[in-house]
Chains A and B, each alone.
Chain A
């Protein structure tokens, strides 16, 4: 076997670069998000005992380690053929919901909000979380920080570590909850609900109350009609921890619903020479290029997609906001379910509704009498073979698929991460936004930022997305002048 060394220090962050190509008239011909990065977890975990995967893969990312940890843990349940006790499932979901609250908080306040609260045309130096705090008030900034803090404490309490959790075991969880912890988490969960409601109010005031922003959300430049994917429970309500994968079409009709282990029958991956990213598409529809519509297998997997793919949310306040979301954005109800919303910038709103749902779900779970059960471990005795685990990562459906020999040593690992699902729609959104917003060579900073906004709503995480390690990374850098003349080409390993 070829020896592969990875320097863990230099590969920690995601890098993406947008390239925009103009034509003679100075209008956009093409725009891409380029990902010049590689991580290689799929390769270097081969040969390790499968039980290590929840702790190996949570290092893929410092933003959503909980998602990898959970997908890996669930893949081990399947691999070792053990059904976790219902107490374990609840504990895991509680942990996972705390993660959702904090992760969505970061995205909205630190990454998404600067565009809206300060405006896309504002001074780039101020368009950041500090600028947001300056505008909305220090008190709100404090709330954001407190929300992050208490949920990370919950993650630490339940998961063993504040950032990279360690508690996931095949068929179990390494730590039961004490009743003191329960009481504390209940108090914090209620604060999360308040925070979720407050954030939606803020969105109302700042974004929906501003016609300019509303127009931007509804504008064609930020609209794509694709398929939508999300995990649902038996009532077709969105669930982030467990369920079947449901895909609905641009017209809102269900295309398929399948258990996560059947993903290879429904999702295929396409490789493009200009990116390390793989582009998954729906096998049931087929690849028809980077295109909108029912005939294109491009699908999307974001907070917006999860709402679109579900019939509703299982908690009362979140459900109210779910309905309001569709009503406000002009969606009609057909056969009892709302038609999908295709406006990509509405993803920010959907994210806040998910935040509220997760917070309400925490209150439900923490009040469940079983939540402090000490029955959290299962001794695994089955011979492992193959396992698939899937959760909704904040950035989309995350699937871990492992194969092992009879001793539980990994022989094959496939990770389909949330961001990867959205590769094709991200590329499409960038191109469309660029086309709509750059005309006749007029390029202002505010406009460029709107192009960035087109991908930011997907909350892409590049460090997760590029971990295939064939040893030869196809890379092509082309530079065009305004006449479309190729000035320079740098290539490696391009067929």
Chain B
């Protein structure tokens, strides 16, 4: 099946090629197929925590960000069963935090919101929890709004240029599991690093201070095109 040293596989019947060891999701992107994801970031060790990227591999549910392509694999992605599952996950994320898009600076650039639009979520089927989580404003460079954090660990898995971890998990295993900031380190972030932290966060949990609405509403990433359309061909 291999061709020019590349693995051959299919997504929804489309012939695709991958490097040895490449994850299904990264390979899909290269082949112009969009597999929805939230916790995944190219180039960063996968966490497999959000489960949005669920695909069917030879009939079994697998997370596309943690599963490497194998030669001859048959992957199902854009099928009603998976869309429904992914939509349900997005809904659970909406109800377990406080995602008030109208007041959020990330609106239009938020991946969670964009997925909700893509899946045509109108209202979550689960009851809202309205948790009381609080905002940590105590660093000069960023706000961390825990109400919006979806615990994707993207911030935790990325480091500053000199290899420092600004974000870490706290309260592991308990109800209070949350991302904590090293406030001192966060205060010393350069503007670029703080902006990068904001961009790495798929939602509006990490916001750069003093830079709100640099891109006006209406000119943002997902204002005119659904998420994934930049990949699909």
Q: Point out residues on A near B: beta carbons under 8 Å.
A: 1, 3, 5, 47-49, 51-52, 55-56, 59, 156, 160-161, 164, 166-167, 169, 174-175, 379-381, 407-409
**Among A1, A55, A164, which residue has the most Cβ atoms of chain B within 10 A?**
A55
* B211 contact set on A, CB distance < 8 A: 379
A380 with B210: in contact, given A5-B130, A407-B138, A408-B137 (CB under 8 Å)?
Answer: yes
* A408 contact set on B, CB distance < 8 A: 137
* A407 contact set on B, CB distance < 8 A: 137-138
What's the Cα separation between A3 and B130 when bound, in Å?
A: 9
What's the Cα separation between A55 and B217 when bound, in Å?
A: 12
Q: List 13 A-B contacts (CB under 8 A).
A: A48-B135, A51-B212, A52-B103, A160-B213, A166-B216, A166-B217, A174-B212, A174-B217, A175-B216, A379-B210, A380-B210, A407-B137, A409-B137
Residue contact A49 to B135, C-beta cutoff 8 Å: yes
Which chain A residue has the least Cβ–Cβ distance from B136?
A407
What's the Cα separation between A311 and B228 when bound, in Å?
A: 59
What's the Cα separation between A379 and B132 when bound, in Å?
A: 30
* B214 contact set on A, CB distance < 8 A: 174
* A59 contact set on B, CB distance < 8 A: 102-103
Q: Tell me how far the C-beta of A37 lies from the nearest C-beta in chain B, rounded to whole angstroms.
A: 21
Residue contact A47 to B216, C-beta cutoff 8 Å: no
Residue contact B217 to A160, C-beta cutoff 8 Å: yes
What's the Cα separation between A407 and B213 when bound, in Å?
A: 19
What's the Cα separation between A409 and B210 when bound, in Å?
A: 14
Residue contact A55 to B103, C-beta cutoff 8 Å: yes
Interface range for B: 20 to 34
* B138 contact set on A, CB distance < 8 A: 407
Which chain A residue has the least Cβ–Cβ distance from B207?
A49
A47 with B134: in contact, given A52-B103, A55-B102, A59-B102 (CB under 8 Å)?
Answer: yes
Is the C-beta of B167 less than 8 angstroms from some C-beta in chain A? no
Is the C-beta of B218 less than 8 angstroms from some C-beta in chain A? yes
Q: Tell me how far the C-beta of A8 lies from the nearest C-beta in chain B, rounded to whole angstroms.
A: 9
What's the Cα separation between A48 and B138 when bound, in Å?
A: 13
Residue contact B217 to A409, C-beta cutoff 8 Å: no
**Among B103, B132, B216, which residue has the most Cβ atoms of chain A within 10 A?**
B103
Residue contact A174 to B213, C-beta cutoff 8 Å: yes
**Among A47, A52, A174, A409, which residue has the most Cβ atoms of chain B within 10 A?**
A52
Is the C-beta of B143 less than 8 angstroms from some C-beta in chain A? yes
| B129-179, CB < 8 A from A | 130, 132, 134-135, 137-138, 143, 145
Q: Point out residues on B near A: beta carbons under 8 Å.
A: 102-103, 105, 128, 130, 132, 134-135, 137-138, 143, 145, 210-214, 216-218
Besides A166-B213, A167-B217, 7 new A-B residue pairs in contact (Cβ under 8 A), listed by A number: A48-B103, A49-B143, A51-B105, A51-B212, A52-B103, A161-B217, A174-B217
Residue contact B135 to A409, C-beta cutoff 8 Å: yes
Which chain A residue has the least Cβ–Cβ distance from B128?
A5
* B137 contact set on A, CB distance < 8 A: 49, 407-409
A164 with B216: in contact, given A3-B132, A47-B135, A408-B137 (CB under 8 Å)?
Answer: no
Which chain A residue has the least Cβ–Cβ distance from B132?
A3
What's the Cα separation between A164 and B100 when bound, in Å?
A: 14
Which chain A residue has the least Cβ–Cβ distance from B130?
A5
* B210 contact set on A, CB distance < 8 A: 379-381
Residue contact A1 to B132, C-beta cutoff 8 Å: yes
* A379 contact set on B, CB distance < 8 A: 210-211
Which chain B residue has the least Cβ–Cβ distance from A377?
B214
Q: Tell me how far the C-beta of A159 lies from the nearest C-beta in chain B, rounded to whole angstroms.
A: 9
The residue from A1, A3, A52, A160 contacting B218, defined by CB atoms under 8 A apart:
A160
Q: Tell me how far the C-beta of A60 lies from the nearest C-beta in chain B, rounded to whole angstroms.
A: 12
**7 tightest Cβ-Cβ pairs between the two chains A and B:** A407-B137, A174-B213, A160-B217, A175-B216, A55-B103, A56-B103, A166-B217
* B103 contact set on A, CB distance < 8 A: 48, 52, 55-56, 59
Q: Tell me how far the C-beta of A12 lies from the nearest C-beta in chain B, rounded to whole angstroms.
A: 13
* A169 contact set on B, CB distance < 8 A: 212-213
What's the Cα separation between A29 and B39 when bound, in Å?
A: 67
* A1 contact set on B, CB distance < 8 A: 132
What's the Cα separation between A52 and B102 when bound, in Å?
A: 10
* B102 contact set on A, CB distance < 8 A: 55, 59, 164
What's the Cα separation between A47 and B146 when bound, in Å?
A: 12
Q: Tell me how far the C-beta of A6 lies from the nearest C-beta in chain B, rounded to whole angstroms.
A: 9
**Among B137, B212, B214, which residue has the most Cβ atoms of chain A within 10 A?**
B212
Which chain A residue has the least Cβ–Cβ distance from B139?
A407
Which chain A residue has the least Cβ–Cβ distance from B129?
A5
* A47 contact set on B, CB distance < 8 A: 134-135
What's the Cα separation between A1 and B134 when bound, in Å?
A: 12
What's the Cα separation between A55 and B103 when bound, in Å?
A: 5
What's the Cα separation between A419 and B130 when bound, in Å?
A: 31
* A409 contact set on B, CB distance < 8 A: 135, 137
What's the Cα separation between A359 and B128 when bound, in Å?
A: 45
Q: Tell me how far the C-beta of B175 lies from the nearest C-beta in chain A, rounded to whole angstroms.
A: 15
Q: Tell me how far the C-beta of A165 lies from the nearest C-beta in chain B, rounded to whole angstroms.
A: 9
* A161 contact set on B, CB distance < 8 A: 217-218
A167 with B216: in contact, given A47-B134, A409-B135 (CB under 8 Å)?
Answer: yes
* B143 contact set on A, CB distance < 8 A: 49
What's the Cα separation between A199 and B193 when bound, in Å?
A: 56
Q: Tell me how far the C-beta of A105 lies from the nearest C-beta in chain B, rounded to whole angstroms.
A: 24
The residue from B132, B145, B213 contacting A167, defined by CB atoms under 8 A apart:
B213
* B145 contact set on A, CB distance < 8 A: 49
Which chain A residue has the least Cβ–Cβ distance from B218?
A160
* A167 contact set on B, CB distance < 8 A: 213, 216-217
Which chain A residue has the least Cβ–Cβ distance from B143?
A49
* B212 contact set on A, CB distance < 8 A: 51, 169, 174
What's the Cα separation between A52 and B134 when bound, in Å?
A: 14
What's the Cα separation between A47 and B132 when bound, in Å?
A: 10
Q: Tell me how far the C-beta of A80 lies from the nearest C-beta in chain B, rounded to whole angstroms.
A: 10
What's the Cα separation between A171 and B134 when bound, in Å?
A: 26
Which chain A residue has the least Cβ–Cβ distance from B138?
A407
What's the Cα separation between A270 and B80 when bound, in Å?
A: 59
Which chain B residue has the least Cβ–Cβ distance from A52?
B103
* B218 contact set on A, CB distance < 8 A: 156, 160-161
* A381 contact set on B, CB distance < 8 A: 210
* B213 contact set on A, CB distance < 8 A: 160, 166-167, 169, 174
Q: Tell me how far the C-beta of B132 lies from the nearest C-beta in chain A, rounded to whole angstroms.
A: 6
